[in-house]
Structure 1
Amino acid sequence: MTGKICSRRGPARLLPSLLVLGAVGGLAACGAATGPQEYGTDRRTIEAEVGEEFTLSLPMHPAQGEWWYRVTPRPDAKVVRGEGDREDYEGSDLVGGGDGTQYFDFKAVGPGTTEIRVLHCPVGTCVGKGESASPRPGATSTNSDQAGRARYYTFTVSVRR
């Protein structure tokens, strides 16, 4: 059987190795899915158990002056606790030099229902930063199809034991 890469018994010998690789790949995929659940503006109803972590994952374009802010009213601290926020930039090593994602991390701490409110600010549509950010006059609700205007998004969080 010269000139052939493997004999008739070759694939049978490879099968255990392929099964191991498949199992490792499957475990890696499962491990990747065990992080905090992420929610975007398309899904604003969140259900969590006490102790569970979750993240608001929002697209941003800081190079174009677009940002997201967590604004008042704050969520009930007996139900949900803010764990911080962070950004992930694409296309540039400079902060704000490319597009990316802005994350707001939370932990469910007690049973109940509360709301998390964020403000989306395209370039020039808001004044202030952080919790004190507010839209310039003429901001719209999330029901509006008017691009380029500041919008509030409200996430309803229900936490159970």
Structure 2
Amino acid sequence: MIRRTAATALLALLVAGCGGGSAVSDYGKVVKGAKGATVPVEVRPGQRFSLAVPDNPSVGDSWDLVEVPDAKVASFISEESEREGDAPGSGGTAYFVFNGKRPGTTEIRLRNCWRCGRDKTPSTEESRQQSGEAIFTVTVAGPAR
């Protein structure tokens, strides 16, 4: 009986610690970008960083990582999302979380396919005009600390 109670309590603690809907609690260095912008990012080996873009799925935003960057320079960890409010139509921020690996430079492109649906292809002229990329030039410099 004591084992079952202890196991139940441990499970409750684990579940409670996973709240908030986010798999990653540490975004590291946050660098903001936007559609049509190219932003430089400088990090150290071993440093966690996040590329942040304004996101509002309720109006049609759908951000994706175009392709995984050079794994020798930066490794992809996860995509996270935070809302600014509970009201319908509230926007927020999408975070693409990475870890700096070895010295070097790589380009990371995030694509917002606006109101594209499952096929991820703009189907209207308005969708083509509102879709776009945020580009980040990531440089990992110096030795690991």
> 1:121 is matched with which residue?
113
**C-alpha distance 122-43 of structure 1, shift in aligned 2 (>3 A):** same
The alpha-carbon deviation at position 121 of structure 1 amounts to 2.3
> 2:74 is matched with which residue?
80
Query: How far apart, in 1, do the equivalents of 2:75 and 2:46 lie?
Result: 10
% identical equivalent positions: 31
Decide whether the 8 Å contact of 1:45 with 1:157 is kept in 2: yes
Query: How far apart, in 1, do the equivalents of 2:81 and 2:92 lie?
Result: 7
Query: How far apart, in 2, do the equivalents of 1:123 and 1:67 lie?
Result: 7
Query: How far apart, in 2, do the equivalents of 1:84 and 1:152 lie?
Result: 18
Give the alignment's Cα RMSD to 1 decimal.
Answer: 3.0
Q: Kindly provide the amino acid, as one letter, of the partner of residue 153 in structure 1.
A: A
Given the alignment of the two structures, is residue 51 of structure 1 paired with residue 8 of structure 2, yes or no? no
Greater radius of gyration (CA) = 1
The alpha-carbon deviation at position 98 of structure 1 amounts to 2.9
Q: Secondary structure, in 3 states, of the residue corresponding to 2:115?
A: coil
Structure 2, unaligned runs of 5 or more:
1-25
Q: Kindly provide the amino acid, as one letter, of the partner of residue 139 in structure 2.
A: S
Query: How far apart, in 2, do the equivalents of 1:101 and 1:154 lie?
Result: 16
Query: How far apart, in 1, do the equivalents of 2:103 and 2:112 lie?
Result: 28
**Structure-2-length-normalised TM-score:** 0.65
**C-alpha distance 44-134 of structure 1, shift in aligned 2 (>3 A):** farther
**C-alpha distance 67-160 of structure 1, shift in aligned 2 (>3 A):** same
The alpha-carbon deviation at position 49 of structure 1 amounts to 0.7
Q: Kindly provide the amino acid, as one letter, of the partner of residue 117 in structure 1.
A: R
Q: Larger RCO: Structure 1 or Structure 2 (Cα < 8 Å, ≥ 6 residues apart)?
A: 2
**C-alpha distance 47-80 of structure 1, shift in aligned 2 (>3 A):** same
- Structure 1 counterpart of 2:92, from 97, 100, 105: 100
